[in-house]
Amino acid sequence: MGIPAYTKIILVPGDERSSRQYGISRIMIVTLIVLAAMMAGVVALLMMSFAGKHTERSRIRELETELAAANQDILVAGQLATELDQMRAVQEKLLIMLGVQDASPVGTDSLAAWLEDVPASSEEGMQRAASLSLSPRPDRWPAKGFVTREFISGNISRGIKPHLGIDIAGPRDAPVTAAAPGTVARTGTDDFLGNFVEIRHGLGYLTVYGHLSRIAVGKGDRVEAGQVVAYMGESGQTTGPHLHFEIWRQGEAVDPRTVVAGDPPQN
């Protein structure tokens, strides 16, 4: 049934007043229906948009909460990393002091490096630590002769080349002895030091003996203070027979005169 061309609306009041009549054309009715439909659509869109915004706000709050938690986790992780680095530094220092931890040489002018092998077990590591931590520091000169060159820490920026040991001149094949009890860390040949021996002692000390003619010990040998470990020579970069003697403490080269008292004995 279609919409009539003209619709009459009669309003009858509840009292005795006369009734009223209104006429509405078909176009007016269609227009009202269309407007009502449009209004309903707008209301529906507004409700959907509001619901979507509410969902977005809820998601934003959730993301903000997750971000805050993630930032807190990052902060805690950073603090843990810092604490681990501090603990690792303390552990490495303790191991070096015990003579267990290996350390690379600080300067290119020296071969003073720690023993590179790792203990096969924790028991072996503890045995090494116990034996080495009880060893005294270097306290004697390793050879007889005259000091021809002193220790120089150096300053590269000012053109001062470091000399990380003391040179003791003496006759070729004069005995070179261990400055303290310890374990032979390395033996070998270097462009600068020539034939060399490194001995690891307790409390983080390591001694280096260079320019040797012959070597009398091997890696891993246990030596006593005063024991012959090599013989003086002129291997490597040298102009005459002498011993280049270095002392390293906890990975840093130190002046042997600050560790060993007096002067080397004379021939």
Residues 128 and 52 in one domain: no
Residues 249 and 133 in one domain: yes
Q: How many domains does the chain have?
A: 2
More confident site: 82 or 149: 149
Residues 26 and 133 in one domain: no
Distance CA 149, CA 264 (A): 13
User: Taking 50 as the threshold, does the pLDDT of residue 113 lie above it?
Assistant: no
Residues 137 and 240 in one domain: yes
Q: What tokens were used for 134?
A: 């009880």
Distance CA 38, CA 58 (A): 30
Residues 6+ apart with CB under 8 A from 253: 105, 106, 107, 110, 112, 151, 153, 164, 165, 246, 247
Residues 148 and 237 in one domain: yes
| Three-state SS at 203 | coil
User: Taking 70 as the threshold, does the pLDDT of residue 137 lie above it?
Assistant: yes
Q: What integer pLDDT is reported at residue 14 of this predicted model?
A: 65
Distance CA 131, CA 265 (A): 29
Q: What integer pLDDT is reported at residue 161 of this predicted model?
A: 87
CA 46 to chain centre: 58
Residues 160 and 246 in one domain: yes
Is residue 191 assigned to a domain? Answer: yes
Residues 53 and 146 in one domain: no
Q: Under a CB-based contact definition with an 8 Å cutoff, are residues 183 and 224 in contact? A: no
CA atoms within 13 A on the CB side of 5: 0
> What is the per-residue pLDDT across 176-214, written as a single tens digit (0 to 9) for each?
999 999 999 999 999 999 999 999 998 789 999 999 999
Measured CA to CA in angstroms, residue 9 lies from 19, 20, 23, 137, 263 at distances of 10, 8, 6, 119, 131
> What is the per-residue pLDDT across 214-254, written as a single tens digit (0 to 9) for each?
999 999 999 999 999 999 999 989 989 999 999 999 889 99
Is residue 97 assigned to a domain? Answer: no
Q: What integer pLDDT is reported at residue 101 of this predicted model?
A: 44
Distance CA 212, CA 236 (A): 9
Distance CA 237, CA 195 (A): 11
Residues 251 and 127 in one domain: yes
Q: How confident is the model at residue 117 (pLDDT cuts 50, 70, 90)?
A: low
Residues 165 and 246 in one domain: yes
Domain that holds residue 45: 6-78
Distance CA 145, CA 176 (A): 11
Q: What tokens were used for 212?
A: 């040797």
Q: How confident is the model at residue 111 (pLDDT cuts 50, 70, 90)?
A: very low
Is residue 69 assigned to a domain? Answer: yes
Is residue 100 assigned to a domain? Answer: no
> What is the per-residue pLDDT across 46-64, written as a single tens digit (0 to 9) for each?
777 777 666 777 777 888 8
> What is the per-residue pLDDT across 5-52, written as a single tens digit (0 to 9) for each?
666 666 667 666 676 766 667 677 778 777 888 888 887 787 777 776
Provide the whole-model pTM: 0.54
Residues 243 and 167 in one domain: yes
Distance CA 153, CA 159 (A): 12
Q: What integer pLDDT is reported at residue 16 of this predicted model?
A: 62
User: Taking 70 as the threshold, does the pLDDT of residue 264 lie above it?
Assistant: yes
Is residue 243 assigned to a domain? Answer: yes
Is residue 267 assigned to a domain? Answer: no
Distance CA 24, CA 107 (A): 106
Q: How confident is the model at residue 105 (pLDDT cuts 50, 70, 90)?
A: very low
User: Taking 70 as the threshold, does the pLDDT of residue 102 lie above it?
Assistant: no
Residues 136 and 254 in one domain: yes
Is residue 178 assigned to a domain? Answer: yes
* Mean pLDDT, rounded, of the chain: 79
Nearest 5 degrees, angle CA 165-CA 171-CA 176?
A: 55
For residues 28-39, one letter each, b for 16 or more C-beta atoms within 10 angstroms of the residue's C-beta and e for the rest, the string is: eeeeeeeeeeee
Residues 24 and 129 in one domain: no
Is residue 92 assigned to a domain? Answer: no
Distance CA 16, CA 23 (A): 22
Of 23, 46, 78, the residue that ends a domain is 78
Q: Give the CATH number for residue 178.
A: 2.70.70.10
Runs of H (alpha helix) within the chain: 26-98, 122-133
